[in-house]
Amino acid sequence: MRPDATQPGGASGPERETDEFNTWLALQKATDEQRANLLADIVGHPREAPSVRELDYMNPPLEEDAIRRHLRILQAAGVLEELVVEPGERVRGYPYKFYTLTDDARDLFDRNDLFPREAWQRQYDRVRKTAEIREIEAMPRPGDD
């Protein structure tokens, strides 16, 4: 493993994207309180791939723009990937972008006992949801078989 992949200060900047997963950067970005709350909701989501609308519902103190900014930071760090419904398959009025953990991030979090699925899924299930949010939760995601 390259030294800059796990050591602080090894990358040339906090937002640097590389071909190799940078565990230090991923942990640094994921442990910000607001981003950690978003990650917990992503892991707790029934399909582990919520839309911004669902994340907005689960995080009322955050505006959608702030949520999108945090999601972009997590994507740049290799923690999240965006799943996009193809234009011909989109349904008007429904989300077409969803966010899920990358395999590298899931492995990192599992190795460090962060964001355990079962615990966050139980927590997510306890939240009372509107009919609209329940309908969006049930939508298929890109990559569903």
Q: Which residues of the chain have a pLDDT value below 70?
A: 1-19, 145
pTM of this structure: 0.84
The per-residue pLDDT for range 95-134, each reduced to its tens digit, is: 999 999 999 999 999 999 999 999 999 999 999 999 999 9
Strand pairing class (97-101; 80-84)? antiparallel
Domain range annotation of the chain = 30-137
CATH T-level fold of 30-137: Arc Repressor Mutant, subunit A (1.10.10)
Q: Is 9 exposed, middle or buried (0-12, 13-18, 19+ CB in 10 A)?
A: exposed
Structural contact between residues 120 and 40, judged by C-beta atoms closer than 8 angstroms = yes
Q: Which residue has the tokens 């942990």?
A: 27
Q: What tokens appear for 60 in the block? A: 């009322």
